[in-house]
Amino acid sequence: MSCFCVGSELHSNPDALNVVVHSREDRVGLKLMNLTHMIPALQAGQMVREVPVFGVLEGVFFQGVVDELCHSESGTLVLSELKTRSQNSLPHPAQYKGHSLQVRVYKLLFDAMVQGSMERHNLLRYLNLRPHQAFGSPLQSYAQKLGILAVTFGELVDHLLSILNFSNLRAVDKLRLEYIHQSSGSLIGTREVEFDEAQLRAELRDYLPFWLGEREPQGVDLENIDESWKCNICPYEESCDWKRRRLQQIMFDGIKKVKFGCSKVEGPALETN
C-alpha cells in the first residue's frame, strides 16, 4: 500500500491531497484520473503540468510525463520540458540530442492520444492491468470528488478514451526545451526543437533493437569531438570493450592510410611496419 500526494499532478490546483493506493490498478488509475481532468482544462486554455503520455510506437509501449502544455496567445499548442543544470550554460550537443528525442517522442504520443489512435485492448495489454479490478475505497472517493463514474480500472479506461476521442485538441505545434540554472533558478536559455515524424520513427527503429537487448550497444563516436568527451567522465572507461575495439580499429585504419599514401609517393620508400 502506498500514499501519493496528488496536488502537484492536478492542473493549477493549490490543494495537496493524499490518496492511499492499494494496487497497481489504483496507482495507474490515479494518474489516468488526473489526466481526465487535464484534457478539458487544456481545452479551456489553462496550462497543465506533469501530463502523463503513453502509447505504442513502432510496436513498443512508451510512457512519460510532459512537464508543461499550454496554448500561446495565438492559439499555438506548446509542449515544454524543463531541464535543470548544475552548470550555467546550455548543454553539449550530445546531451541536447537526448533531450530533443524525449520531447519529440512526447509529441508523437500526445498527438496519437488526442487524435483517437489509442486502443483499449492495447492499453490494457501493455500495462498488464486487470480491467475488472475495483479501485480501493480511497481512490473511489477521489474519483467521486472529480465526478468520475468509474469503479473499476476498465471503466476508467473507457471514460478516459471517450474524453480523448471527443476532445477538440489538436496536435502539439511547438516543442520547447527550457534550461534552468539549478543554484540560481534563473533561465539559461530556451531551444525550439524541430519535428519530423518520418525522421523520428527512423531514429526509433534504430534505437529499439538496442533498448530491447537485440543488438550490442554502440559506444560514442571517438572520432567526433562533440561525442568523445563523454569517455573522459565515464566510470566504465577502463573496462570499456567498445572503446578498446574502436581505438584498435582507428589505429589500424590509420596505418592502412599511411601505407596507401606511401605507395603514391615517388622516391625513397618509407617502411611503416
Residues binding ligand SF4 (CB under 6 A): 219-220, 230-231, 234, 236-237, 240, 242-243
**Closest separation in Å from C-beta 193 to ligand SF4:** 24
| Shortest-Cβ-distance residue relative to ligand SF4 | 219
**Closest separation in Å from C-beta 225 to ligand SF4:** 14
In a 3-state reduction of DSSP, which class is residue 40?
helix
Residue of 213, 236, 212, 231 lying closest to 221 (CA atoms): 231
Q: Please say which residue, 59 or 98, places its beta carbon nearer to ligand SF4.
A: 98
CB 32 within 8 A of CB 21: no
Q: CA 252 to CA 270: how far, in whole Å?
A: 17
Q: Please say which residue, 210 or 236, places its beta carbon nearer to ligand SF4.
A: 236
Q: CA 65 to CA 75: how far, in whole Å?
A: 22
103 HSE (CA, 13 A, CB side) = 25
Q: Please say which residue, 173 or 227, places its beta carbon nearer to ligand SF4.
A: 227
**Closest separation in Å from C-beta 214 to ligand SF4:** 19
Q: Please say which residue, 97 or 159, places its beta carbon nearer to ligand SF4.
A: 97
Q: Please say which residue, 58 or 211, places its beta carbon nearer to ligand SF4.
A: 211
**H runs (alpha helix) in 115-240:** 120-127, 137-146, 153-165, 197-211, 225-232
Q: Which three cell numbers stand for residue 96?
A: 541536447
Q: CA 253 to CA 247: how far, in whole Å?
A: 10
**Closest separation in Å from C-beta 238 to ligand SF4:** 8
**Closest separation in Å from C-beta 249 to ligand SF4:** 13
Q: Please say which residue, 180 or 222, places its beta carbon nearer to ligand SF4.
A: 222
Residue of 116, 114, 106 lying closest to 174 (CA atoms): 106
- Checking DSSP bridges between strand 60-71 and strand 174-181, what pairing results, if any? unpaired
**Closest separation in Å from C-beta 216 to ligand SF4:** 12
